[in-house]
């Protein structure tokens, strides 16, 4: 665990800066209030609003670790939301609707995984297909309207409270813990990291590469479906046009901030979630400061540009020298 905190150090500093900025623009930001058994406060707000991107980042991190990418998660969110809304409207109970949505996410992930693994289409191309067609499929289900529903059970996915926390926060937390356990308490983590960066070495060492590759896309689809459920429950309706729009980019960015290279290799679920929280914190800060929300896009561009420069091969030697010097000083 100490190793994790060492790796997380720079992101925690970044998070602290974002929180500090939030505090400066909204003095009561850190306060927590308990109203009707539910916690309210700036931090809860960030976690609640950030839950969908956190979920997407949890699914995206293993995909990127295999040197892949999943562009379709935003569209899968839209489909899953539409499926859930359509099934409660067809008279099914909300648990059925939830299961149907999750099943849809699994199916979408399987489609992507098969295209990448069996048909060996580049991930960016393979997932582009669903990114384009997925929104059409979602619109087909909602008939092009915002498909509203009144089922309180389904709406509860977003509005319910458990242990004083909003359900989306708990869902994201649970997903992070389950995924974290799945990759670190089993041997999946190193396998995922091996199949992407060293496919030949992994195969010769007996790692079951095809299964793992399909698996990460399936998992990404499942996480996207969860995020889609929250987004639909939030507005009590499925909006095929806007649900999850461009969130795949937020998810990719969260994972990159979490320290995973776009060329695959080491990944961390925890750090990716942290990346998503940092993004949401920035967004909230700009909003609270009364600045135009458009600044967000510019700020995000700036952050990616920074990460790209830092990750670029041209800068790597310099950074390696710097860290070496710092750690030497640290241990001395």
Which residues are near another protein by CB under 8 A? Answer: 3, 69, 119-122, 124-126, 128-140, 143-144, 185-188, 190-191, 193-194, 197-198, 200-208, 212, 240, 245, 249, 252, 256, 262, 265-266, 292-298, 300-301, 304-305, 308-309, 311-314
Please return the burial class of 106, using the count of CB atoms within 10 Å of its CB with bins 0-12, 13-18 and 19+.
middle
Q: Least distance from C-beta 7 to another protein, angstroms? A: 12
Cα dist. 291→228, 250, 283, 284 in Å? 28, 20, 10, 10
Identity of the residue, 188 or 227, whose beta carbon is nearer to another protein in the bound complex: 188
Q: How far is the CB of 37 from another protein (least distance, A)?
A: 39
Of the CA atoms within 13 Å of residue 148, those in its CB half-sphere come to: 2
Residue 17 CA to residue 257 CA, distance in Å, equals 15
88 vs 240, beta carbon nearer another protein: 240
Q: How far is the CB of 220 from another protein (least distance, A)?
A: 17
Write down the least CB distance from residue 198 to another protein, Å: 5
Please identify, using beta-carbon distances, which residue of 161 and 296 lies nearer to another protein: 296
Based on CB atoms, which residue is closest to another protein, 16 or 297?
297
> Smaller CB distance to another protein: residue 95 or 208?
208
Q: How far is the CB of 159 from another protein (least distance, A)?
A: 29
3-state secondary structure 44-111: HHHHHHHHHHHHHHHHHHHHHHCCCCCCCHHHHHHHHHHHHHHHHHCCCCHHHHHHHHHHHHHHHHHH
Tell me the closest approach of the beta carbon of residue 24 to another protein, in angstroms. 22
CA atoms of 180 and 113, how far apart (whole Å) = 21
Residue nearer to another protein on the CB measure, 163 or 204 = 204
Give start and end residues of each alpha helix (H) in the chain: 2-25, 42-65, 73-89, 94-117, 123-142, 152-159, 167-184, 188-197, 199-204, 209-235, 247-257, 269-288, 295-311, 316-331
């Amino acid at each position: 665990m100490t190793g994790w905190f060492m790796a997380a150090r720079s992101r925690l500093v970044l998070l602290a800066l974002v929180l500090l900025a939030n505090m400066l623009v909204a003095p009561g930001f850190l306060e927590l209030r308990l109203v009707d058994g539910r916690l309210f406060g700036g931090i809860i707000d960030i976690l609640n609003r950030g839950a969908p991107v956190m979920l997407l980042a949890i699914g995206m991190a293993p995909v990127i670790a295999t040197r892949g990418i999943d562009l379709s998660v935003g569209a899968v969110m839209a489909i899953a939301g539409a499926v859930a809304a359509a099934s409660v409207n067809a008279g099914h109970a909300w648990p059925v609707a939830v299961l149907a949505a999750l099943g849809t996410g699994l199916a979408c992930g399987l489609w992507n995984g098969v295209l990448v693994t069996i048909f060996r289409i580049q991930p960016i191309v393979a997932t582009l297909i669903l990114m384009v067609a997925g929104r059409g499929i979602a619109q087909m289900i909602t008939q092009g309207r915002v498909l509203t529903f009144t089922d309180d059970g389904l709406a509860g996915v977003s509005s319910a409270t458990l242990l004083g926390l909003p359900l989306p926060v708990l869902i994201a937390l649970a997903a992070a813990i389950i995924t974290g356990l799945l990759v670190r308490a089993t041997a999946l983590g190193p396998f995922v990291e091996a199949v992407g960066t060293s496919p030949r070495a992994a195969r010769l060492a007996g790692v079951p590469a095809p299964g793992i590759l399909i698996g990460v896309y399936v998992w990404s689809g499942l996480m996207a479906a969860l995020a889609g459920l929250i987004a639909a429950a939030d507005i009590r309706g499925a909006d095929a046009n806007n649900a999850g729009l461009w969130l795949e980019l937020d998810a990719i960015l969260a994972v990159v901030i979490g320290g995973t290279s776009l060329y695959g290799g080491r990944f961390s679920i925890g750090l990716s979630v942290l990346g998503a929280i940092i993004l949401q914190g920035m967004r909230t800060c700009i909003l609270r400061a009364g600045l135009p929300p458009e600044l967000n896009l510019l700020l995000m561009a700036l952050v990616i540009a920074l990460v790209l420069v830092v990750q670029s091969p041209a800068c790597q030697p310099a950074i390696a020298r710097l860290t070496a010097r710092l750690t030497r000083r640290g241990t001395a």
